[in-house]
Amino acid sequence: MKNIYITDLDHTFLRSDLSISDYTKKTWNSYASESILSVATARTYKKTMQFLEGIHVNAPMILLDGALIATTDKKIIDTKFVTKEAGDTIIEEGAKLGIFPFVLSLAEGELNEAFSYATTLNSYQSEIIKRYVNDDHTQVFKDLRAMQNNFKIVYMGNEALLRELEKNLKVVFKEQLKYILAPEAYMGCYFLTVLHKDADKSHGIQSVSEAAGFDLKKLTVFGDNFNDIGMFELANTSVAVANAQEGVKRRADIVLAHTNDEDGVARYLAEVKNA
């Protein structure tokens, strides 16, 4: 049976400028005929496909922190949605603290993603929106509401404020939802992601395993942040890049000597191939 390699994107496979080096492309693609290759990311389908230009992927991808499992040709394998009712309540709880989220949703059944946000943005969100200025799936609302099927709801801001929001949401929803509070390394702030309780990379790995028919004992995963720990626990071999969060490194089987900007994943794969 083939070995399986699944990598996180941001701060793991992607460089900090969101590029992928020719060395990483060549090394990763050299595994294409002999291995099952995929990615697990917080990114949308559309953004992921932009980043993966020239990269071979031959298994379903884990997208939006595990809320969406889909193939490169837009076949949806699995979804985990936050309902409109729950989404609206989450937005209302944030509004009480003067903050509004990004809402990532499925607009139609054919993997038509929607990225909704409010006219009221903080400085971190405003910077993010600049990167989406040419995207056709963004929409701004004076009165932001959730859609029918929401992949995830994401707040950006300072840690203390987002911890307060997380606490308030847990009073309302308890364990009905999943909450990920983590540093946002690109912006120097924190983000709070709210998802369906089973939307995570761990459940995503299981869905991909069933779809692709692979043995978890043959699985190696790469990551850097706390949303990667679930797949670390399932994989036979978990690998953290040198720039990973310290708590993530402690959970990894292997901590690389090289960062994402030093092609850590590719260097590891090259060593494995030459061993």
Structure confidence by residue, pLDDT tens digits, 41-95: 999 999 999 999 999 999 999 999 999 999 999 999 999 999 999 999 999 999 9
Burial class of 9 by CB neighbour count within 10 A (0 to 12, 13 to 18, 19+): buried
DSSP state at residue 263: T
> Could you tell me if 207 and 38 are in contact, meaning their C-beta atoms sit under 8 angstroms apart?
no
Over pLDDT 90: what percentage of the chain? 87
Whether 133 shows a pLDDT value over 80: the answer reads no
Average pLDDT over residues 151-162: 97
Q: How far is CA 140 from the centre of its chain?
A: 23
pLDDT for 137 equals 80
Q: Of 3.40.50.150, 3.30.565.10, 3.30.1240.10, 3.90.1280.10, which CATH number belongs to 82-196? A: 3.30.1240.10
Tell me the CA end-to-end span of the chain in Å, nearest whole number. Answer: 19
Amino acid at the residue 59: A
Residue closest to 64 by CA, chosen among 51, 83, 52, 48: 48
- The DSSP code sequence of 23-46 is HHHHHHHTTTTTEEEEEB-SS-HH
Q: HSE, CB side, 13 Å, CA atoms: give it for residue 59.
A: 28
Range 241-250, long-range pairs (CB < 8 A, 24+ positions): 241/11, 241/12, 241/265, 243/11, 244/11, 244/12, 245/182, 245/183, 248/223, 248/224
Among 14-28, 131-145, 162-176, 252-266, where is mean pLDDT lowest? 131-145
Are 223 and 8 in contact by the 8 Å Cβ rule? The answer is yes
Q: Give me the pLDDT at residue 188, please.
A: 85
The type of residue at 115 is: F
Q: Tokens 């540093």 identify what position? A: 183
Q: H/E element holding 230?
A: helix 229-234
Higher pLDDT, 128 or 70: 70
Please report which residue ranges of 115-222 form alpha helices under DSSP H: 123-131, 159-173, 201-212
CA distance 264 to 25: 12
Q: How confident is the model at residue 184 (pLDDT cuts 50, 70, 90)?
A: confident
Bridge-based pairing of strands 112-118 and 68-70 is unpaired
The DSSP letter of residue 245 is -
Confirm if 32 and 54 have CB atoms less than 8 A apart. no
Q: Which CATH number fits domain 3-79+200-274: 3.40.50.720, 1.10.3720.10, 3.40.50.1000, 3.40.50.300?
A: 3.40.50.1000
- Residue 160: phi, psi to the nearest 5? -60, -45
Contact of 205 with 40, CB cutoff 8 Å:
yes
Residue 136 has pLDDT above 80, yes or no: no
pLDDT surpassing 90 at residue 135: no
What is this structure's pTM?
0.92
Please give the pLDDT value at position 116.
96
> Mind listing the pLDDT tens digit for each residue in 100-110?
999 999 987 67
Domain borders along the chain are 3-79+200-274, 82-196
* pLDDT tens per residue, range 202-247: 999 999 999 988 899 999 999 999 889 999 999 999 999 999 999 9
